[in-house]
Amino acid sequence: MATFKIEPDENTLHGFFSRDLKPVLTIDSGDTVHFKTIDAEWGLENFNITLFDPKGDQPPRKFATTNIEGPKGHALCGPVFIRGAEPGMTLAIHIESIQPGKWGWTVGGKTAEGQVMHLWELDPIHMRGRNQHGHQVPLRPFMGVMGMPPAEEGQHKTNPPRVTGGNMDCKELVAGSILYLPIAVAGGLFSTGDGHAAQSDGEVSNTAIECPMEDARLTFRLHPNLTIPTPRVWTSTCWLTLGFDESLNVAARTALDAMLDLMVEQRGVTRADALALASVVVDLRVTQIANKVLGVHAVLPHDAWQ
C-alpha cells in the first residue's frame, strides 16, 4: 500500500465541502495519507512570543490564503479521491496517529475588557498544555472535521456536521480509533482540518484547544457491502454511533436508532431486544452544542454484556 502527504497551501486549502471540488490526491483503498493542517481560523503564526505576557496581548498573526473560490469556513486540506468509492458504500478512516503543533487557543466568555482568550503552549512529546494563567491540562488530540461532501450540488458550509461527516467535534476520534462514514459522491472526496489538542464533550465555549496539526496519519479502506445511515466509530473500548440535528432530542434518537441497527447487525439480537439491552448498557452523550446542528453519540462498550 502507498503512503502520501498533503500540506496546507493555496491549492489544498479550502473552506467548504462540494462534490465539484477538484481532488488534490487520488489514492486506492488501503493507502495512507499524512495530513499537515493549520488551525481552523486559517492562522499560520504561533502565539509563543507573548504567550506568557501578563497582559495576555495577542501577537500579530499571518493568515493562510487559498486559490479556491468559495466560503471560507474551517481551513480544510484535501479533497482526497478514493478509487472505487461510490455512493452507498462506507469509507473507514483508520486514525493511525495524530501529532499536534506547539500552540493553541480557546475562546471564553466576555468581560468588560472584551473577549477572554486562553493561549496555550503545547508539549506534543509529553502531551501537556499550559495556558498563560498557568493552568495545565492533558492533551488528547483529534481532528474536529473529517468528512466528505453530500450528494447535493453547491458549496456547503463546514460548520454543521452531516451524515457524511464534517464538523463532528467528537473527542473520541483519537489515534487508534476508526471512523466509518457513508459515501455520497463518487470518489468520496475526503477532507480534514480543525485540529483540537483537547476538548470535553459538549465543546461548551464553541472552541476546544484549537491548534495546527503537524501530522495526522490516516489510512483509508472501502467497505463496498456496508451501508450505514450515519457515522459510527470503533474505539479500543466501545462502539459509537452519531446523530446530528438542530433538535438535541432528534439527534439523540438518530444516534440511538443507529446503535440499535449496529446491535442487531453485530450481536444477532432482535431490534426489540436491542432496545431493552440499550436501556441497560448504552450511554447517550452530547458530542457538541457548538455548531447549531447539535451532536449526540450513543456508546456501547465492547464488554457490555456476555
pLDDT in tens, 108-164: 999 888 889 999 999 999 999 999 999 999 999 999 999 999 999 999 999 999 999
CA distance 193 to 166: 9
pLDDT at residue 59, rounded to an integer: 57
pLDDT for the residue 114: 86
CATH 2.60.120.580 domain range(s) in the chain: 3-225
CA gap 231, 218 in Å, rounded? 17
CA 234, 235, 241, 247: dihedral to nearest 10 degrees? -150
- For residue 44, what pLDDT is reported? 73
84-99 average pLDDT score: 98
Mean pLDDT of 263-291: 97
CA distance 105 to 215: 19
Class of residue 250 by CB neighbours under 10 A (exposed 0-12, middle 13-18, buried 19+): middle
pLDDT class of 306 with cuts at 50, 70, 90: confident
Is 262 a residue whose pLDDT tops 80?
yes
HEC string of 107-152? EEEEECCEEEEEEEEEECCCCEEEECCCCEEECCCEEEEEECCCCC
Q: Which residues contact 197 (CB under 8 A, 6 or more apart)?
A: 100, 104, 120, 122, 129, 139, 140, 141, 208, 209, 211
Alpha-carbon gap, residue 55 to 42, rounded angstroms = 24
Question: pLDDT category, 65, cuts 50, 70, 90?
Answer: very high
Reduced to 3 states (helix: H, G, I; strand: E, B; else coil), residue 94 is strand
The Cα-based distances of 205 to 10, 118, 220 in angstroms read 30, 12, 32
User: Treating both helix axes as pointing N-terminal to C-terminal, what angle do 248-267 and 271-281 enclose, rounded to 10 degrees?
Assistant: 120
How much is the mean pLDDT over the chain? 94
What pLDDT score does 54 carry? 44
Assess contact for 181 and 231: CB atoms under 8 A. yes
pLDDT exceeds cutoff 80 at 45? no
| pLDDT exceeds cutoff 80 at 47 | no
Contact 138, 198 (CB under 8 A): yes
Where in the chain do CATH 3.10.28.20 domains reside?
Answer: 237-306
The CATH number given to 3-225 is 2.60.120.580
Contact between 238 and 170 under an 8 Å Cβ cutoff? The reply is no
Using the predicted structure, report yes or no on whether residue 250 has a pLDDT greater than 70: yes
- CATH value of 237-306 in 1.20.140.10, 3.10.28.20, 3.60.150.10, 3.40.50.10700: 3.10.28.20
Residues 6+ positions from 20 with CB-CB distance below 8 Å? 153
Cell 503537524 found at: 214
Global pTM reads 0.95
The whole-number average pLDDT for the span 277-288 is 98
| Strand duo 128-131 + 136-138: pairing | antiparallel
CA distance 257 to 262: 9
DSSP-assigned states of every residue in 236-291: SSEEEEEEEESSHHHHHHHHHHHHHHHHHHHH---HHHHHHHHHHH-EEEEEESSS
What is the model's pLDDT at position 50? 47
pLDDT at 210: 97
Tell me what the mean pLDDT of segment 190-219 comes to: 98
Note whether 59 and 50 are within 8 A (CB). Answer: yes
Distance CA(115)–CA(129), nearest Å, equals: 21
Does the structure show a pLDDT above 60 at 46?
no
User: Would you say 148 and 164 are in contact if contact means Cβ atoms under 8 Å apart?
Assistant: yes
